[in-house]
Amino acid sequence: MITPTVETADMVEMVREGLKSYPKDAAVYIRPMYWALAGDELGIVPLKDATGFAISLEQIPMAAPDAATTLTRTRFRRPVLEDNVVNAKAGCLYPNNARMLLEVRARGFGNAIVTDALGNVAESATANIFMARDGELFTPIANGTFLAGITRARHIKNFRDNGVTVHETVLRYEDFDAADEVFLSGNMMKVTPVKAFDDTQYQIGPMTRRVREMYWDWAASDRG
């Protein structure tokens, strides 16, 4: 409902300009944002052509490769298109995720495995999720309830290009109980190893190391 106002090429130019303020090797997280500047008489429906825009550049160091997190179940779920704007990366989706993080941190865990309304695993509270079993990869199939991220897509392509089978499929909590390895995938940290899901312990194993190596090889190449 917010009218976009900035061409992609102009956005890229602004980012490049902004990045000049940072050291060459700085890890900078880039957040372009639109928001509504004004609404109708009730203040609910955004007015057309009243769009705010900003790009936030924030220096956020990459986590160490062996900085693993822990996961648990959450009572909260991903919304569906009928009751929230899951077809956008929208600020209004975040309070739900914040509740998940508060809930699981209070129980001593780092993040949550979150299901959709059907009880199938969707992602974590902050990133997409993968599991490895018997030398193959599994990740929840994109079903409209979570953002299937560009980093998720990159990992899938990298694995497949290297001859590893990746299943985009329906996964339950029980599948994660039976996994050999689990890692999170997002644009901020690229790969976050997982060392436990409730009472189940995982190794930071060959698949988790491999996905990281493939990602950084790609990022350092001409294609990245």
* Alpha helical stretches, state H, 66-115: 94-106
Where in 123-142 is the site for a second copy (CB under 8 A)? 125-126
Report in angstroms how near the CB of residue 77 gets to a second copy at its nearest: 5
Among 16, 20, 24, 95, indicate the residue that binds a second copy (CB under 8 A).
Answer: 95
Identify whether 195 is a catalytic site residue: no
Among 46, 110, 140, 193, indicate the residue that binds a second copy (CB under 8 A).
Answer: 46
Please identify which of the residues 20, 89, 157, 195 carries the catalytic annotation: 89
Among 13, 94, 153, 157, indicate the residue that binds a second copy (CB under 8 A).
Answer: 94
Token pair for 210: 């491999």
Number of residues that bind a second copy (CB under 8 A): 36
Binding flag, residue 78, a second copy (CB under 8 A):
yes
Binding flag, residue 92, a second copy (CB under 8 A):
yes
What residues contact residue 205 under an 8 Å CB cut-off, 6+ apart? 132, 180, 181
Distance CA 26, CA 61 (A): 8
Distance CA 125, CA 18 (A): 29
* Alpha helical stretches, state H, the chain: 8-19, 94-106, 150-161, 173-177, 206-220
Binding flag, residue 76, a second copy (CB under 8 A):
yes
Element of type H or E holding 31: strand 28-36
Binding flag, residue 96, a second copy (CB under 8 A):
yes
Binding flag, residue 220, a second copy (CB under 8 A):
no
Among 7, 25, 49, 82, indicate the residue that binds a second copy (CB under 8 A).
Answer: 82
- In b/e form, how buried is each residue of 51-77, taking b as 16+ CB within 10 angstroms? beeeeebeeeeebeeeebbbbbbbebb
Closer residue to a second copy in complex, CB, 95/163: 95
Binding flag, residue 12, a second copy (CB under 8 A):
no
Please name which of 152, 84, 159, 166 lies closest in space to residue 124, comparing C-alpha atoms.
152
Decide if 202 contacts 195 (C-beta within 8 A): yes
Binding flag, residue 51, a second copy (CB under 8 A):
no
Binding flag, residue 83, a second copy (CB under 8 A):
yes
Among 93, 166, 170, 196, indicate the residue that binds a second copy (CB under 8 A).
Answer: 93
Catalytic positions are 89
Q: What is the contact surface with a second copy in residues (CB under 8 A)?
A: 1, 39-42, 44-46, 60, 75-80, 82-85, 90-99, 101-102, 105, 117, 125-126, 188
